[in-house]
Amino acid sequence: MRGLVLVLLVGACALSPQSEVQDVAQAYCRCYEPGQQSCVDMVTQEIGNSVSPECSQCVFDDQRTCAAMISDCTSLCFRIVTPPGGP
């Protein structure tokens, strides 16, 4: 019975994919345009419907230092598309 309660408590603490996307977008926007909902909306659109566990962990670890977060996490969090034929 205790195991079931523990599983339910852990499950209740898990963020939805949309919440994770919002959290990542807000962390990036604190670096670029603090307090601007338009920034959060744009970054959320760029990220897509979900973020990888690696992206979430990277942002969580580096969010206090914008330069570190941007250099370490951008490739993990954003879909960077290279045009055919290279850059």
Sort 56 into a burial class: Cβ within 10 Å, 0-12 / 13-18 / 19+: buried
How many angstroms separate the CA atoms of 61 and 59, rounded? Answer: 5
How many angstroms separate the CA atoms of 75 and 85, rounded? Answer: 20
Q: What is the pTM of this model?
A: 0.72
Distance of CA 33 to the CA centre of its chain: 16
What does each of the 87 residues of the chain score in pLDDT, given as a tens digit? Answer: 444 333 333 444 567 888 999 999 999 999 988 888 999 999 999 898 999 999 999 999 998 899 999 999 999 998 765 556 655
Domain coordinates in residue numbering, the chain = 17-77
